[in-house]
A = this chain, B = another copy of it.
Amino acid sequence: MSCPPIPDESLGFLLTDATRAIRRRFEQRATELGLSSAQWRVLVHLLRRGPLSQARLAEFLEIEPISVSRLVDRMQEAGWVEREPDPNDRRVKRVVAKCKAHAAFENARQIADDLYEQALAGLPPGALETLTDALRRIIINLSDSPEAQNDR
């Protein structure tokens, strides 16, 4: 019975579990805000960068445009954002954050910050930076665009 690497503690499984745990906790605490973690992510980009086309949003979020389309549908219904036409290109719809989004921002950010603090409790100082460096590297190494890929 040679089973050298124990796969159920592998990188992929641990990443999956950690991500799910963070998402679950965030949504538990943001229930009263009515904000899911995917929607929170959209708001962060919109509030940082201003109105964006759905295509740009898809790039920033690293998801497919169709996924953005339906995410924005629900966020528009919930009153977080609006779609407005682009004066220069009749194909594009600019997604604009509404007042409600600005109002909720600090609140949600606090939830996220507290969550990260809880998540990292007991780890040595500097662990956060090591961790985020590694994650950034993994994302680049597995991205489709071959920019800055390390080997082969």
Contacts and interface: CB of A to CB of B under 8 A. Distances in A.
Given A5-B113, A17-B139, A11 B123 contact: no
A55 interface: no
- Oligomer copy total: 2
Nearest to A113: B5
Contacts of A41: 8, 13, 16
A113 B4 CA distance: 12
A103 interface: no
Interface residues of A, number: 59
A79 to B, nearest CB: 21
B128 A131 contact: no
A78 interface: no
